[in-house]
Chain A
Amino acid sequence: MLLLWELGGRAVTEYRLFLPSIIEVMGAGVQLLFSGDVARHFLVTLERFLTGYLIAAALGASLGVALGYFRLLHDLLGTVVELLRPMPSVAIIPVAILMLGIGDAMIVAVTVYASVWPILINTVDGVRHIEGALVDTGRTFGLNRRRILWQIILPAASPYIVTGLRIALSIALILVTTAEMVAGSKGLGFFILDQERSMNSSNMYAGVLIVAVLGYALNRLFVAIEARVMRWQHGMLNREAV
């Protein structure tokens, strides 16, 4: 397939401007990596992504536990959540620009807003699915609230929380790059759009490639961490099967 691209590209030279050969893209990619130009954009994007994602994880999980555990809170906020959820999260970008300008704060805020939903909703779900007996057992043993939270609720809900975190991972990357395209002067999203506007198509494809690799690497990293952290759960499931 790659070969076909290369050959096809060479045959139809009039499209050269739109679809440079793989060799050119690779060349541009290597050149960009060494020039440090892309490295700067890359680091900016990565930093925004990590900040936003981690804040969303902390916020989503804690809010989710609270909403899942306290019925009253859930009843009060449930309708508001249901109202906000169907709105595509990117629609928040203009509001964020209005309130926070076009700096890092805006991009991080947008990322947090968008990636908090899957984490929040999955956590609520997870906490609600905990067997009442587990919490009751904890109470019987005289555990205080904090220990019930840390030693019973969080571990029992963690498979759900992890699912939410995994969904949020790709959403966060989407939002960072989008926000950078709509309003930004740094970052990979800006870089790619900028290269397109200056008709530097090899650089543009190289940028797309870098983002794809970043997305892939983040996903892999997540799966690796998940396997390590959640090992106890797989062990438990296996034991039950035996």
Chain B
Amino acid sequence: MRPEKLSGIGFLFIALGLWEFAARKELVNPLLVPPLSRIVAVFWDLFSTGEMPLQIAVSMKRAALGYGLAGAVFISLGIVMGLSRPIHRALEVIVEMLRPVPPPVVIPVALLFFGLEDEMKVFVIFFSCAWPILLNTIDGVRRVDPVLLNTARTFRLRRLKTIWQVVLPAASPQIMTGLRVSLPIMLILVVISEMVGSTDGIGYFILDSQRRFRVAQMYAGMAALAILGYTLNQFFNLLHRRLLSWHWGMMRRNLE
């Protein structure tokens, strides 16, 4: 391990040790900041009883639905808008009007239509992930080399085939960027929508623990959320490298 990494971890342990010490000696209010060991114990309990995995699974189901739907709808819409000027002009105003709406503000609107159901959260996630995906896809499609498109036309490729075999692969690095940007947004909105209107899920779990003054449980929930965020990011990176390995390979060849 590199020495700078080592000193970072060393510092982390010292900080955590100080936390444990301060909480035990009641230098800080142990009701607000319980000792680390208790949080770890509670964390372990929540996991072994299956409570935490259950809440995470509920949240992830909503997240996957909203994110997947946003990906499917807005990548297709982005390709259409990127290829056709008239459609782009027609829809641009609406996009520009909806984009500055901060996503949490959509929650009350979604509550009105869907109530406290899962659809509410799915819609909110769908809405908030929309813009990075849409704008990046449009951008990516616009930047497709015209030579590629002309070549496809020369070979009399049908339109659908052109999109599938030429446009989509050529725009995919940028589409991936959009998907990556909206990944943390997705997680944030899952948590917010569950805090504002839900009876389960990890966001609700954390807020509810606070309201019932189960402080250690609240911190344990936050830790689980951090781990979840980290895992999602790593998973996405892995997928990214897999799916776009041809792209990086090509870039390298171009450099040589």
B207 contacts A76, CB within 8 Å? no
Query: Can you list 6 A-B contacts (CB < 8 A)?
Result: A77-B11, A84-B226, A88-B184, A177-B102, A177-B105, A196-B112
Given contacts A88-B191, A215-B102, list 17 more A-B pairs with CB under 8 A. Answer: A18-B113, A79-B8, A88-B229, A89-B188, A93-B195, A95-B219, A98-B218, A99-B32, A193-B108, A196-B108, A204-B112, A208-B106, A208-B109, A211-B102, A212-B101, A212-B105, A213-B100
A78 contacts B188, CB within 8 Å? no
Within 8 Å CB of B109, what residues of A? 196, 204-205, 208
A196 CA to B230 CA, complexed, in Å: 35
Within 8 Å CB of B107, what residues of A? 181, 193
B18 within 8 A of A: no
A87 within 8 A of B: yes
How far in angstroms is the closest Cβ of chain A from B44? 18
B103 within 8 A of A: yes
A90 contacts B218, CB within 8 Å? no
Name the contact of B12 in the complex, choosing from A79, A178, A181, A205 (C-beta under 8 A): A79
B215 contacts A98, CB within 8 Å? yes
A84 CA to B225 CA, complexed, in Å: 10
B222 contacts A87, CB within 8 Å? yes
Known: A90-B188, A204-B112, A212-B97. A95 touches B210 (CB 8 A): yes
Most buried by B among A94, A177, A182, A195: A94
Can you list, as one digit per residue, whether each of B89-127 has a CB less than 8 Å from chain A (1) or not (0)? 000011001101111111111011100000000000000
A76 contacts B11, CB within 8 Å? yes
B4 within 8 A of A: yes
B226 contacts A211, CB within 8 Å? no
A193 contacts B218, CB within 8 Å? no
B191 contacts A91, CB within 8 Å? yes
B233 within 8 A of A: yes
Q: Which 3 A-B pairs have the closest CB atoms?
A: A79-B8, A86-B229, A94-B210
How far in angstroms is the closest Cβ of chain B from A72? 8
Known: A86-B230, A88-B225, A208-B109. A75 touches B8 (CB 8 A): yes
A1 within 8 A of B: yes
Within 8 Å CB of B195, what residues of A? 90, 93, 178, 182
A33 within 8 A of B: no
A196 contacts B111, CB within 8 Å? yes
Can you list, as one digit per residue, whether each of B1-23 has a CB less than 8 Å from chain A (1) or not (0)? 00011011101100100000000
How far in angstroms is the closest Cβ of chain B from A162? 18
A77 CA to B11 CA, complexed, in Å: 7
Known: A18-B113, A195-B108. A95 touches B222 (CB 8 A): yes
B187 within 8 A of A: yes
A185 within 8 A of B: no
B7 contacts A189, CB within 8 Å? no
A55 within 8 A of B: no
A177 CA to B233 CA, complexed, in Å: 26
Known: A193-B107, A193-B196, A204-B112. A215 touches B101 (CB 8 A): yes
- Which B residue's beta carbon lies closest to that of A182? B195
A233 CA to B45 CA, complexed, in Å: 55
A78 contacts B112, CB within 8 Å? no
Name the contact of B191 in the complex, choosing from A90, A95, A204 (C-beta under 8 A): A90
A87 CA to B195 CA, complexed, in Å: 15
How far in angstroms is the closest Cβ of chain B from A186? 16
Within 8 Å CB of A173, what residues of B? 102
A204 contacts B108, CB within 8 Å? yes
B104 contacts A189, CB within 8 Å? yes
A219 within 8 A of B: yes
A97 within 8 A of B: yes
Known: A193-B108, A212-B101. A94 touches B206 (CB 8 A): yes
Can you list, as one digit per residue, whether each of B220-255 has a CB less than 8 Å from chain A (1) or not (0)? 011001110110010000000000000000000000
B55 within 8 A of A: no
A74 CA to B5 CA, complexed, in Å: 10
Within 8 Å CB of B175, what residues of A? none
A164 CA to B101 CA, complexed, in Å: 20
Within 8 Å CB of B233, what residues of A? 86
B75 within 8 A of A: no
- Which A residue's beta carbon lies closest to that of B230? A86
